[in-house]
Each structure stands twice: as structure tokens, then as C-alpha cells.
Structure 1
């Protein structure tokens, strides 16, 4: 496995990719979400999907306007954890910015043999695999470009994408506490 590097060292990939940035999210929550100002607003019952665009959404919109695709599959427990409910609530704003976010029940992902780690796949060439600790803090990433790692990530993407459900449709399956 290559060296662990800080996530900040790969952020250029979010603008440098040519065609597709695809992510698998497997965690039950993320420390970065809990630490964001948006978390508190969501906890107070505010609609965080319709907030003004943030830097992520602006970046997605710019890339999509250039014909690039942002796609993501999120694994969700049944019932969803607090962190997953937050992502479902905020995800519609990302969808409005142009990101295609789909969701899948964790039990289905386990049945299909999907991995239990998060990663980004850029242009079916570069895999950025997250290292996340037990408190859901991102410690860094491994950048993988070797053919076996890339092919495996592409296979995971294809399998997950085939079985995942678009965010709006998925939300209709989730209990009303959203």
C-alpha cells in the first residue's frame, strides 16, 4: 500500500479529472459532518438541502457545466444512523448542484460483497482510498493507480451503481424522521 498522505494533497483531483468522479461512502457518520455549522442547523430542524451553495456545491456545478460527472453511492443502515439521516437531508442540495447521489441499504451492500471502506475513483484511473479511524475522523488517503486496484474499484462502482437508488426515490423508503 502506498504512503498515507493528507487528504488536502489530493484535492486537485476534484478539478483535474476529465470525465467522472465517483465515490463510495460506507461510514455510519463522519466527524467532519458533526463539526460543520450545517450539523447544528440540521439538529435544530432547519432544511439544509436548500441552503445557499457552499464551496463543494459551487465546485460540482462548475465541473458539471463542463460536461463532467460527479456520482456517489452511500450505504445506509436500516434504520439510518443520525449521520446517515444528516447526509440524506443535505444530499438534495448536492443533487441540485449536479451531483448524482444514490443510496443503498447496507444489508444489500453486504449481500453483494461491496467493500467496507470509502474511496473516490477518478476517470477509472485513480483510486483515492480513505483511512478513517473509529471516531470517523479521516486520517489520510492512499492514492492507488495500479491496475488491480483500479479494476476492482471499477467493478465495485458498476455493481453498486446498478443496485443503488436515486436519493429522492430512496428517501421515500426511509422512515419519516427525516
Structure 2
């Protein structure tokens, strides 16, 4: 098992990067989401909005106004899990803060040979690989700067980004009748 760091120990990368922070999300759900009141409201069909004045969103708006990019591709099963439906819903808040979020069916990701793990890629040179337990709790992250692994992550990013569908269009497909 590689040395795992706490996510808090790498959070500075979200401020320090120069150009692009890119994420691949492969999980069928996240424990952190399931533990939130917003998630429970979503499951009950109630209003599940977020406070866009929150410092995290404010920071993203400030950075994207400076020309930095936050991008994500999320893998979605057929049919989507409750956790994935929640992410399709909650993406609107990240998008309002300046992120570009796209989605892809897991079957398509497999055909493309995309990794089956979550990661953040900063400026195409620093890779943060997530490790989860079986209940979707983050165990820690690996900080990887080894060029071969970073290049593989860049290749995965390029393939995923090329084939992924913008969130609103994907969401419309998922929720359209028939």
C-alpha cells in the first residue's frame, strides 16, 4: 500500500495551481454525500440547494475569473445509482461557481480504458489519487509527481474530456422519458 496523505494536506493545491485542476470521478457514490442533510433532502424530493456564498464556491469563482479552469468528468452507471443522480443534481452548484462538469457512461469509459480510480490532476504535472474503503469513505490520497503516472493521467483526461457530455445535456438524457 502506498503512503497515504490526508486530503487536508493537499488542499493547498486547489489554490496553488496555475492553469487547470481536472478531476475524474469513478465512484458510484460517496460517503461524504450520503452523510449530508442536502443528500437526504434530495432523496426525499425536497429542495436541495447550496449556499453559493460558501468560501469554497467563492474561491472557485475568483479563480475562474482569473482564467483558471476547474473541470470534471463523472462516470455514470446504467441505470444511475442514487449517488450519481445526486451528483447530476448538485453539479449545477459547481457549474455556477465556474466549473465545467461533464459525464460519461461507465461502459463507454471501460471501452476507452479509463482508470477505475478517482483522481485530481493539477496543471498536468501533479496527480492526487484517491483511496476509498468499501463504504466509499476516503482513506487518504497519494501525491504523485512521477512522470509516467502523470502522463497516463493526462492521457485519461484527454480521452475522457473528448468523449464526455456536458452535464445539462447528459442530465436531460438521463431524465428524458423513453
**Counterpart of 1:131?**
131
**Counterpart of 2:75?**
75
SS in 1 for 2:72: strand
Q: CA deviation at 1:173?
A: 1.1
Is the aligned partner of 1:163 residue 2:163? Answer: yes
Q: CA deviation at 1:44?
A: 2.5
- Contact 1:2-1:143 at 8 Å conserved across structures: no
Normalized against structure 1, the TM-score is what? 0.94
Q: CA deviation at 1:176?
A: 5.2
Q: CA deviation at 1:46?
A: 2.8
Structure 2, unaligned runs of 5 or more = none
CA 1:8–1:63 in 2, change beyond 3 Å: closer, same or farther?
Answer: same
Q: CA deviation at 1:63?
A: 1.2
Q: CA deviation at 1:59?
A: 2.2
Alignment coverage as a number of residue pairs: 176
Structure-1 separation of matches of 2:134 and 2:56: 25
Q: Could you say what the CA RMSD is over the residues aligned between the two structures, in angstroms?
A: 1.5
Structure-2 separation of matches of 1:22 and 1:131: 17
Q: CA deviation at 1:52?
A: 2.2
Q: Deviations over 1:42-64 (max 9, x none)?
A: 1221343x532134322211211
Q: CA deviation at 1:2?
A: 4.9
**Counterpart of 1:42?**
42
Structure-2 separation of matches of 1:27 and 1:101: 15
SS in 2 for 1:18: coil
Structure-2 separation of matches of 1:55 and 1:44: 27
